[in-house]
Structure 1
Amino acid sequence: MALLTLYTYFRSSAAYRVRIALNLKGLTAEQVPVHLLRDGGEQLKPDYLALNPQGQLPTLAVTDDSRFHLLTQSLAIVEYLDEVHPIPPLLPADPILRAQARAVALAIACDIHPLNNLRVQKYLKGEMGVDEERAGRWVRHWMETGLAAVEAMVRPHAGRFCVGDTPGLADLTLVPQMFNARRFNADLSACPTLVAIDAAARDLPAFADAAPERQGDAPPI
């Protein structure tokens, strides 16, 4: 079996997704913390940029039969894990449901998350001179409108989880974004289905053990 090393940060939503996927698959990866704030951001240092030219998290290093590979982009990493370790599957067997699960994951990872991640907030507050209060309004606006749309996407085919009663790609993308929404005090009253799915998922060990507060690099409470 390949040796896995995950470059992560306890509060990175994208790394959180991959931690959940690893847990759902029963896989172990050595975790290497990359602090996004310390010393201007360790993800921007030359040593890390050599691993991931985008300077983002996560990066998964895969060593297999003396070959070494670097994988980036959380959803690409998750689908790699699903292809190499297909049991349990992270996507439904039905092609329509697979497409719906991917649509939910992409709506969160590509449309909601990029507008409220750390580098956007830093640019707003730095180069654009946006004060803390207005920056918070920006984050909440895009979270609330985006998650309200995801609520409508999920409702027709939701069960206990986003697509039926088995956790998968959509859920491991949703839960970190819901963590962010709570962290920024977003109004989730328009998202009762998502709130229920998030709570059900976080009751599972695979999700609970991946939570930011349970990571080795999380600050003590």
Structure 2
Amino acid sequence: MTTNSSLGEPKKLQLYSYYRSSCSFRVRIALNLKGLDYEYKAVNLLKGEQQSPEFLMVNPIGYVPALVDGDIVLADSFAIVMYLEEKYPEHPLLPRDLEKKAINYQAANIVSASIQPLQNLDVLKYIEEKVGPDAKLPWVQKHISKGFTALEKLLKDHAGKYATGDDVFLADVFLAPQIHGSIQRFNLDMTAFPLLARLHEAYMQLPAFQDAMPENQPDFPAAQSGSV
């Protein structure tokens, strides 16, 4: 274990995060579920701080989140969550059942690979420049709806109180920020997705999820512009 050389105490985890980033939101939930204390290091994406030389030394691709654990630096939400799962076994994020474990991986990947990348700032900026500002919201809603349709079908035979049963697992960690952002940021009508809407309500009751919410982060602005 890496320690503070002067005090002999373990170094606190550091999370480079942006309050509205759903990828950062996932990691905050995982850290909270596992009861891990961490230092929040804000990176303002709208101001371009992710492209600063200082941050690029942490994550050369210029995305949040990034996690520093002593001498270990990880920069990818899926990799970070799996690292936390293996190093800190408290509150396992994967079930023992092999099928349920696979469903968790699949649901998390639908969010992280097939939905979220199509709504990040770089993509929305490109759509705005090449097509027009009015094209951004329909673009996002189309691709979220496609992913949510798949998730409804995937989880219908596995869901309990949460995505794959009555315990919170990896799928929930990835689903909660995506559903929240889809409703709050992209004004998605959830009528066609009753299972995901029900899960959203369940997530909002959990302290680990509540504490990870964008509005509860230190870099949450006092006034919101409401822009995509």
Q: TM-score, normalised by structure 2?
A: 0.91
Corresponding residue number in structure 2 for 1:23: 32
Q: Tell me which amino acid in the other structure corresponds to 1:175.
A: A
Task: Within 5 Å, give how 1:32-181 maps onto structure 2.
Answer: 32-38=41-47, 41-63=48-70, 68-126=71-129, 128=130, 130-181=131-182
Is the Cα–Cα contact under 8 Å of residues 127 and 133 in structure 2 kept in the other structure? no
Give the whole-Å Cα distance in 2 for the aligned partners of 1:132 and 1:214. Answer: 29
What do you get for the CA RMSD once the two structures are aligned? 1.0
Q: Tell me which amino acid in the other structure corresponds to 1:192.
A: P
Is the Cα–Cα contact under 8 Å of residues 144 and 188 in structure 1 kept in the other structure? no
How many correspondences in the alignment?
213
Q: 1:25-69: per-residue Cα shift (whole Å, max 9, x none)? A: 00011000000011xx10011111111011000000011xxxx11
Q: Tell me which amino acid in the other structure corresponds to 2:171.
A: A
Q: How many angstroms does 1:2 deviate by?
A: 5.1
Is the Cα–Cα contact under 8 Å of residues 162 and 172 in structure 2 kept in the other structure? yes
Give the whole-Å Cα distance in 1 for the aligned partners of 2:194 and 2:91. Answer: 27
Corresponding residue number in structure 2 for 1:217: 219
Corresponding residue number in structure 2 for 1:196: 198
Corresponding residue number in structure 1 for 2:16: 7
Percent identity among equivalent residues? 43
Give the whole-Å Cα distance in 2 for the aligned partners of 1:36 and 1:167. Answer: 30
Structure 2: which 5+ residue stretches go unaligned?
1-9, 224-228
Q: Tell me which amino acid in the other structure corresponds to 1:62.
A: D
Q: TM-score, normalised by structure 1?
A: 0.94
Q: How many angstroms does 1:107 deviate by?
A: 0.4
Q: Tell me which amino acid in the other structure corresponds to 2:27.
A: V
